[in-house]
Chain A
């Protein structure tokens, strides 16, 4: 007999599937019906196509502002803001340790003055803004609210998303600042604040994508992410100030789609069903909208390889199709040259075209959940859900996500899986065309490294110095003092105080340091 054939997450696969493999009918109602296995909406993509959301941002606020205005003139309706690492980790641009990182992987933001420039002539009541920001998400949200007010836009009209998912930062993305428990408090503050004050804004995008890129398989990615979602909802609900139905519709999710086509489809279908049941059973949600698993994804990431790099175009296309057959709400398609370069305008355009061909030519968007009822896809969805439950139960039994993060347990699960995959690639057990199969040894195309614009950094430092010179020192002291006092206890929501700090032109670093003085810093478990 042949060795057992398994999916990339290790789910055993039969030779073929038949009617006996279909789930009970209550697990498979029509699209748009709880538990949403077959999609959130009865009409699938007929009612609304998924959003094509390409990630970009660079240099200074002026340069990014020009780029955003261009994108909006081309018919875009949403912005996706990439922030530089100092902003993400809570350092001002003039901090001596971060000079080579200012403006490098995104735009540098130090004070409200930068946000005023970033969104100059961009009507914040008409566009939506997605910000990939976690450690300092609450501070950037405060800037956004304050920038809206400067434009005369009421905060109730602001639309967008902050990622705001710190748990995965501790494990796989690394932009942590404070320890888990006070960070969870701050996240719960933002969720409450959005529910009451900024109702059209998504307070959190719980992201499994970074677990996946760090090495987790599809089942782990889904299980870890749902556990993070549970941890955040537990935190808000346990305060007793808000019910699940008051905030759950503002919670969304974010994943990577990699190459195992049917497993990825099963992952999204299983995740939707599991989350719907968790929200109803664990928290007693009464509104079906609270139970909906709204998900964005990236096709690409660690599933792309540098050798024979043009093969990545094909990989991204298949991954994008799996994402759509899985029923995602928004997608970013990576450029083929991403494994070894900052993508060019040509390669990013091709990535966007890949989605457009999928949406407008292939016909996959014509019917909701086209694979619903497939013996194989339904069986794999069930197997994936069972695996996800198994992993989540293990984490619960070990004391939950915060414990798993602090003990390094999650780090070791991911490192183990990454190592297993690397060994399978090195041995050829996992085939990758161009890497370990049909390899030709051709070198990747020559590309130039990205040189930071020193002038941009200098302008950023000059602006920061100017803001510090002209702002009211008394207001800065007063607002930071109020923040420090409130951070010492759990009684008060910190968001209004952060908005006050933002309006007083306090810097990101100043706010972060005040909170560090009360909360300390995260100590990373060193596991490999």
Chain B
């Protein structure tokens, strides 16, 4: 069974270049990608994560609202009984916010500029060992 990854952009920010690049790189690497697009509500992301039985949830946020939206999505996953699905976050994220994202429920953070190959390898590691390198 291929690894199933959900990629979505919560909040109102429409910058989806990075999310689409990641979705395509993961698909090319053999992942099964469920791409939801922009302006997704956290509760909708959680519901689809459960329904599609995904192995990883990936969020992309470039508006600066990453901490609040990560927390909301994590809460929604817990609410939906899927708090065990690892969640990773990418976007315009200052280094100083990485611990805040970790506290909000992210297991790995990939700031803008992360090479796609590194991200793919890290997600493979996350799925197989439960541990990612990037944080």
A→B interface (CB under 8 Å) = 85-86, 88-89, 91, 97-101, 104-105, 169, 172-175, 213-215, 302, 305-307, 339-342, 415, 418-419, 422, 426, 435, 443-444, 446-450, 524, 526-528
Cα distance A97–B23 in the bound complex, in angstroms:
25
What's the tally of chain B residues with a CB closer than 8 Å to chain A?
41
Query: Is B116 at the interface (CB under 8 A from chain A)?
Result: yes
On chain B, the residues within 8 Å of A306 by CB distance are 111-113
Does the CB pair A100–B65 fall under 8 Å? yes
- Chain B CB within 10 A, most for which of A88, A97, A175, A528: A528
Interface-lining segment among B9-17, B49-57, B76-84, B127-135: B9-17
Q: Is the CB of B94 within 8 A of A339?
A: no
Whether B112 pairs with A340 at a CB distance below 8 angstroms is yes
In the complex, are the beta carbons of B24 and A415 less than 8 A apart?
yes
Residue of B nearest to A306 (CB): B113
The DSSP consensus for interface residues of chain A is: loop
Flag whether B125 is at the interface (Cβ < 8 A).
Answer: no
Task: Determine if B14 and A104 form an interchain contact, defined as CB atoms under 8 angstroms apart.
Answer: no
Does B30 interact with chain A (Cβ within 8 Å)? no
**What residues of B have a CB within 8 angstroms of the CB of A104 in the complex?**
63-65
Q: Contact residues of B with A, CB < 8 Å?
A: 11-17, 19-21, 23-25, 27, 33, 35-39, 41, 63-65, 67-69, 72, 92-97, 100, 111-113, 115-117
Q: Is the CB of B20 within 8 A of A418?
A: yes
Contact A302 B113 (CB under 8 A): no
State the CA gap A471–B90 with chains docked (Å).
Answer: 44
CA–CA, A524 and B35, complex, Å: 12
A213 vs B25: C-alpha distance when bound (angstroms): 19
* Residue contact A174 to B14, C-beta cutoff 8 Å: yes
Q: Which of A99, A302, A526 contacts B17 (CB 8 A)?
A: A302
Q: Point out the residues of chain A lying under 8 angstroms from B96, CB to CB.
A: 446-449
Q: Which residues of the other chain, B, contact A169 by a CB distance below 8 angstroms? A: 14
B63–A105 touching, CB < 8 Å: yes
Q: How far is the CA of A174 from the CA of B13 in the complex (A)?
A: 7
Closest CB of chain A to B27's CB: distance in Å? 8
**Closest B residue by C-beta to A426:** B115
Q: Pick from B12, B13, B97, B116: contact of A422, CB below 8 A.
A: B116
* A99–B42 alpha-carbon span in the complex (Å): 13
Taking CB atoms, residues of chain A closer than 8 Å to B67 are 449
Complex contacts, A449 vs chain B, CB 8 Å: 64, 67, 93-94, 96-97, 100
